[in-house]
Amino acid sequence: MFSFAKEQEIFDISGIKIGGQPGLYPTVLVGGLFFKGEPDFDTGKKQLQNMLDISKKTGNPAVPDFFIRKEEYIEDITNFIESIVPKSHPFSIDIIEPSLKVKTLEYLDEKNLLSRAIYNSIHVGIKDEEREALRKHTPEMAIIVAFNPKDKSPDGKIEVLQNGANLTDAGLLDIAKNLGIKKILVDTAAMAPGDNSGASIAAIPVIKEEYGFPTGCAIHNVVEKSKWLDDFKSARNPVDASSNINIPLFGGDFAIFGSIANADIVFPIIAWQDILISEYTETYFGITPDDSHPRRKLF
Amino acid sequence: MENEYYPWGGEFTACSPNGCVAVVILNIDYTPIEKVAIYGPLKTENIGVEKIVANVISNPHIRYIVVCGDDIRGHRSGSSLIALNKNGIDEQHRIIDAPGAIPYIENLNDEAIERFQKQIEVVNLIGINNKNDIDKAIDDCIVKSPPSFGKPYIAIRITPEATILLDDKRALHSKIVMNYMGKIKKRGK
């Protein structure tokens, strides 16, 4: 449980606060929809409502993360965002293919949704067409993934943020700022088991002290990629969900926890972790938790 | 023996150690015939590709890689593997002309990549999902009965050198220090 000497940025997106000293704001939880197959909007609607309900109970802000795999899904998914996600609520879009990123940004701009959008993500693979689209249709917030294929240690992650590690023409933070993105979240790029997976957690305090930006990661990806856990099938889900506690414990601000279907388990786990942290950080560092904090909800 | 031949781990099934074909399966449900040396899925255009290269060059009997199924969206891992075999990597370790998002090879040395290019011929079946067509392409390779490439090449995983050495083992990290309560500050400030 930490406190940072560096002043910590706090960003607001549609009323959700993210960042700051540990113990001040609750951990923001990002739950994903439509990872596999055709998007199932009926189930998605129920899962989204369930996540928002549980978020209200625990106090941990919920961000639905929409995975867009194919061009033909863009219109339907952005329509879903427009009509189903509450009007004052942020969301993120998670897209791998650069051409789909470009098209989705155009759709979001057309529908006037960019002010609530978190762009997931900018990384060393950023293409010119993507930069152009981001300049033209700038989202309110972006996740910068500190993945450095040359060096997966915290130092390597800082290197890509700072100077691009010779993989890009500038550091990823400067690239994002030059594109007009003012609110930046840093994702410490969780790797597969056996590939310095712990570095994504160790990097959280390092990056927060270096830059002060809200920081987190998708640590559950490490669990998801584990073959070893195949021998412990009933433990896979609890291990996946509980792996997220490492993020607030190391001072992080957000957890991209995988499928929204896990919201029922992840939210209470993280709310309890936030309470533990807050009890310490208030006593030792004088960080009074915000009114929205789980510590104010569960007692 | 298998462990020696396939030292890098990954999600694969080893079949016939003297088989000349490895099969990379992209996004399809397919099990090749048992005469192949090894088969498995490929997901990422960097670490996934590295594991395949390291594993196949450790077995000199493998002379063909059949890449089949639908390429992984965004990652374009199958096409990146093929590009590596054809073009190698540039000074920044990027696979030349690879279409994937982050196609960097960082854990293999140049010799391993050169060996991969010389030992392996790629059969590009990206876009082909039909079991019979894939089986036939594998059979065509097996019928050629190519000679072994010689000795196994055991690729050593390159690990980045630590740039800063510290005597203070209590430090969380070289860039930060923490006092007894948990207050973090930059080292040297």
Question: CB B46 to CB A167 under 8 A?
Answer: no
Tell whether the model's pLDDT for residue B3 goes beyond 80.
no
pTM of the model: 0.82
In the predicted model, is pLDDT for residue B28 greater than 80? yes
Find which of B176, B179, B183 to mutate to test the A interface (most A CBs within 10 Å of its CB). B176
Residue A102: the pLDDT is 97
**What's residue B171's pLDDT?**
56
Asked if B182 is an interface residue toward chain A (Cβ–Cβ < 8 A), one would say: yes
Residues 148-207 of A with CB under 8 A from B: 149-151, 153-156, 158, 166-167, 191-192, 194-195, 202, 205-206
DSSP per residue, chain A: --EESSPPPEEEETTEEEESSTTTSPPEEEEEE--SSS--HHHHHHHHHHHHHHHHHH---EEEEEE--SHHHHHHHHHHHHHTS-TT--EEEE--SHHHHHHHHHHHHHTT-GGGEEEEEE-TT--HHHHHHHHHS--SEEEEE---TT--SHHHHHHHHHTGGGTSSS-HHHHHHHTT--EEEEE-----TTSSTTHHHHHHHHHHHHH---EEE-THHHHHT-SGGGGGHHHHHHHHHHGGGHHHHTT--EEEEEEGGGHHHHHHHHHHHHHHHHHHHHHHH--PPPTTSHHHH--
pLDDT at B74: 80
Burial of A231 (0-12, 13-18, 19+ CB in 10 A): exposed
Q: Write down the pLDDT at residue B156.
A: 77
pLDDT band at B173 (very low <50, low <70, confident <90, very high): confident
Residue-range domains of chain A with CATH: 10-297 (3.20.20.20)
Please state, in angstroms and rounded to a whole number, the distance separating the CA atoms of residues B35 and B65.
Answer: 13
Residue B172: per-residue pLDDT: 65
Q: Show pLDDT as tens, one digit a residue, over chain A (299 residues).
A: 899 999 999 999 999 999 999 999 999 999 999 998 899 999 999 999 999 999 999 999 999 999 999 999 999 999 999 999 999 899 999 999 899 999 999 999 999 999 999 999 999 999 999 999 999 999 999 999 999 988 888 999 999 999 999 899 999 999 999 999 999 999 999 988 878 888 999 999 999 999 999 999 999 999 988 888 989 999 999 999 999 999 999 999 999 999 999 999 999 999 999 999 999 999 989 999 999 999 998 76
Backbone angles phi, psi at B168, to 5 degrees: -80, 95
Q: Is the pLDDT of residue B152 over 60?
A: yes
Q: Binning pLDDT at 50, 70 and 90, where does residue B176 land?
A: confident
**Looking at the DSSP assignment, which residues form a beta bridge with residue B126?**
B69
- Tell me which residue has tokens 């959008």: A117
CB-based contact (8 Å) between A35 and chain B? no
Cβ–Cβ contact A86 with B under 8 A: no
- Could you report the predicted ipTM of this complex, rounded to two decimals? 0.76
More confident residue, B155 or A135: A135
> Residue B78 — pLDDT band, cuts 50, 70, 90?
very high
pLDDT at B107: 86
Average pLDDT over residues B105-110: 90
Work out the minimum CA distance from A59 to partner chain B, whole angstroms.
Answer: 25
Answer yes or no: do B93 and A194 touch at CB < 8 A. no
The pLDDT, as a whole number, for residue B165 is 52
State the CB neighbour count (10 A cutoff) for residue A215: 30
A202 against B171, higher pLDDT = A202
The nearest CA of chain A is from the CA of B160 a distance in Å of 6
Q: What is the pLDDT of residue B9?
A: 72
Q: How confident is the model over B87-116, as a mean pLDDT?
A: 92
pLDDT at B81 over 80: yes
Choose the closest CB to B182 out of A1, A125, A194: A1
Q: How confident is the model at residue B161, as a pLDDT?
A: 53
Look at residues A209, A223, A229, A213 and name the one whose alpha carbon lies nearest to residue A176: A213
